[in-house]
Amino acid sequence: QWEELSALDPEVGGAVRTFEICSGRGRGGAGRDHAPQGGRGPAQHSWSPAQHSWLRSHWVPRRDATTVMAELRYSVVACDSIGRARGTRGTPG
C-alpha cells in the first residue's frame, strides 16, 4: 500500500506530495515482512516479495483535458536507511 504524504522540499521552495512504500513502516505498513529467525520483531527489508509497486494518484486534476503532461522527480531509497520517525510522523525528518 502506497502512503501519500505532504512534505516541504527546499529545492522547490514549498510543499510537495510524496508517496512512499516501505514494508512494516508508517501507518498501516501493508506487506509487512515476517519476523527474522530468532523472533526479534519484524524484518526491515526494503520490499516484501509480494509488493505491488504501481502508483496511481488523483492529485493532478485533469478536468476536461484528454492529455496531461507531467514532470516527475523520484528517488529510490532503501527503507532501512529511513529513520522510523519519518514513517510515523508522516513527513520527512
pLDDT band at 24 (very low <50, low <70, confident <90, very high): low
pLDDT band at 22 (very low <50, low <70, confident <90, very high): confident
Chain segment 31-88, per-residue pLDDT in tens: 333 334 444 444 444 455 555 667 777 777 788 999 888 887 777 777 777 665 444 3
- Extract the C-alpha cell encoding 84: 522510523
pTM confidence score: 0.41
Domain ranges of the chain: 1-93
What's the Cα-to-Cα distance from 14 to each of 51, 75, 85, rounded to whole Å? 31, 18, 21
